[in-house]
Amino acid sequence: MLFRKGIAAVLSATACVAFAADRPVTYAPSVVVTATRFEERPGRYPIGVQVLTEEDIKHSTAATVPELLRMLSGIRTRDLSASPNLQVDMRGFGIFGDQNTLVLLDGQRISENEQTTVNWAAIPLDAIERIEVLRGGGAVLYGGGATGGTINIITKSPRRGERSATLHGGTGTHSTREARAGLNLGGEGVGIRANAGRYESDNFRDNNRTRIDNAQADVRWWNAAGSLSLKFGADDQRQGLPGAITEAQISMNPRQAATPGDFSALRSGYLNLGGETRLAAGVLAANLGYREKDTDASFFVGTPFRNNVEARVNVWSFTPRFKLPYRAGGWENSLILGFDYDDWKFDATAGPAIIGRPHSTQRSAALYAQHTTAFSPDTSLALGLREQRVNYAVNDPTNLLAADSRKHTLHAWGIAVRQRLVAEYFAYGKAGHSFRVPNVNDNYSLFTATVALLEPQTSDDYEVGLDIRAGPGRYRLAFYQSEINNEIFFDPITFTNRNLPPTRRSGFEAEGRWRFADGLDFYVNYTYALAEFRSGNFGGISIAGNSVPLVPRHAANGGVGWAFAAGSRLDVSLRYVGEQTFDADETNTFGRKMPAYTVVDLKLTQATGGWLLAAGVKNLFNEKYFSYGVFTGFPTYAALPAPERSVFVSARYQFK
């Protein structure tokens, strides 16, 4: 078994520097929030959080958060609707990747309880201070949906004594235009930071025009005893939906739209009131959050009728927590205690072919505790437990028989250990139990207006690895495995979701980064991922041992950054994604795989005075590929062609 072999490899390998690693990222910056929900010193938590810093974001060739994340080991993205809101999938969960990857904004979850992607377009890169990535963890501290991993996006806050403003403008291929403005006013005890912008593009395909308006602000008060902040934001988006086209249509004209009149619109907003105060015994913190989202869509769905769907989501959350650091037995200890409450409501209307009018709720309350002990600078151990009570329900006022509810008490646990071997060679291991609660689309069919509540998904998760610092390099090698029960999955035979027989995710990630004093930095990483059905059947055909669709077995990234002159820098990135099984081919009988692809991007920047000028090329060698394809019946498929080569230029000026 791959995981058992991985344990042996990690325990015996001290020369794994031959493996290469990850995007220019910084491990263990000055603070880490994701690991404990409090700021921590570097290395305090046994399993380090990988952090993309503000500098990493500025030097990347990415234009959106998903484009940035997909350059990391173990993370893939796919385009399911020709939208900037790509699906992000950690450790190979395929079409339900975003339901097993927990995304947080300033520590508050923004992953949806419906089968839609995170609203990434509402989070511009220039509003982000850092992104923290914890692979295969987070269930104890954050609850459901974290089996693949947890991503915490930390936005910029006002800085004491700093006053500045920025203006940004850009243009590019396909009539792309972008304008942004930012403001930071920081006094001795109060400050405000705000960002606003607009993005417009016709994009690569017909009927794919995008328009995004967004704004964010952070008002903060602080003193020696603690701080209080109010973060809020809003966005308004409209997107043409060109739809998937057939293999023959792709060869004829990949830009054409299968659905020239389809579109979707989204409006959302959030408020997050948070505070932290230092007490004699420790630190007390709490957040009160509210989020709402309204969506409208118009599309054809296999009928001569145009269907209009409107949905509204409201979410309240309250998350108080307490940190108690203490010393006992000569060891440094830290105890985290917390309570999470979430109240999520969903209402939708549709018609005429889609007959459902669902109303859904999901309420949960959880208690958790995590204890960390540093036995020495070389050895640390963390233990965590969570109990979460959840009540989810769906009903349809047009169908009195379409109503059901379910209550569950779910548990998560985790243990993690980190041990220095020699010099800066560290071995680590962790194990845990995680879960995922079914969402409204898992439990309800819009087409039949029927309810069939599913059981929660559970998983037992394991990981071992090496973390090495040697000279100018930083390296990581990790082996992981997840044994999953009741995995929630879409059955293309019955056209409904159901709980699967046991499945498994396993693999390894190898990554390395080098930074040199002469202005050169390199990175490379490789992911080997196995996603397989352990038993069961689809349409009477056994799928035991088959590959889960949409999970490439091999993937790699690499690149270089070169500061070749004062204020001048060239960044080049390469992304390789191997073959993968088409969606809807759970039986693995199609006989064809989604083709592998390699994409190269580059960006040139020049800083002079208060100006930052940039020019870049996406898909430099004009690779023809797609990140999502679905088996439609022998001998063909349908897919969403990815954009071909495009260029952009931008200018940013900072006033101080």
248-302 pLDDT per residue, tens? 999 999 999 999 989 999 999 999 999 999 999 999 999 999 999 999 998 876 5
Q: Which residue has the higher pLDDT, 399 or 48?
A: 399
Confidence of residue 25 (pLDDT cuts 50, 70, 90): very low
Answer yes or no: is pLDDT of 320 > 60.
yes
Distances (CA, A) of 397 to 164, 293, 294, 314, 391: 53, 22, 20, 19, 20
Q: Is residue 446's pLDDT more than 80?
A: no
Closest CA to 588 of 577, 598, 580: 580
Lowest mean pLDDT segment, chosen from 125-139, 244-258, 345-359, 575-589: 345-359
Q: Calculate the average pLDDT of the chain.
A: 90
Long-range contacts of the stretch 617-623 (C-beta < 8 A, 24+): 617/645, 617/646, 617/647, 618/61, 618/63, 618/643, 618/645, 618/646, 618/647, 618/648, 619/643, 619/644, 619/645, 619/646, 620/645, 621/645, 623/597, 623/598, 623/599
Sign of CA dihedral 52, 57, 59, 60: positive
Q: Is the pTM of this model over 0.85?
A: yes
- Tokens 């390395």 belong to 512
Identify the pLDDT of residue 304: 63
- pLDDT for 268 equals 97
* Segment of 66-75, 157-166, 291-300 carrying the highest mean pLDDT: 66-75
Instruction: Give the DSSP letter of residue 40.
Output: B
Q: ∠ CA 410-413-417 to the nearest 5 degrees?
A: 170
Q: How far apart, in whole angstroms, are the C-alpha atoms of residue 543 and residue 531? A: 12
Mean pLDDT over 443-463 rounds to 90
Residue type, 99: Q
Mean pLDDT of 531-535: 93
Q: Residue 165: which pLDDT band, with cuts at 50, 70 and 90?
A: very high
Percent of the chain exceeding pLDDT 70 equals: 92
Whole-Å CA distances, 187 to 157, 193, 218, 654, 656: 12, 11, 14, 19, 14
Place of tokens 């509210």: 290
pLDDT of residue 28: 41
Please check the confidence at residue 10 and state whether its pLDDT lies above 70: no
Instruction: Please tell me the least confidently modeled range out of 385-389, 453-457, 480-484, 536-540.
Output: 536-540
> Could you tell me the pLDDT band of residue 398, with boundaries at 50, 70 and 90?
confident
Name, of 16-25, 367-376, 495-504, the range with top average pLDDT.
Answer: 367-376
Per-residue pLDDT at 353: 58
Q: In this model, does residue 215 exceed pLDDT 70?
A: yes
- Which pLDDT score, from 0 to 100, does residue 31 have? 55
303 versus 107: which is more confidently predicted? 107
Write down the residue that tokens 């690569």 correspond to.
204
Between 433 and 441, where is the model more confident? Answer: 433
Q: Which tops the pLDDT comparison, 450 or 311? A: 311
pLDDT by residue (tens digit) across 551-573? Answer: 999 999 999 999 999 999 999 99
Question: Hey, what CATH topology would domain 2-655 get?
Answer: Maltoporin; Chain A (2.40.170)
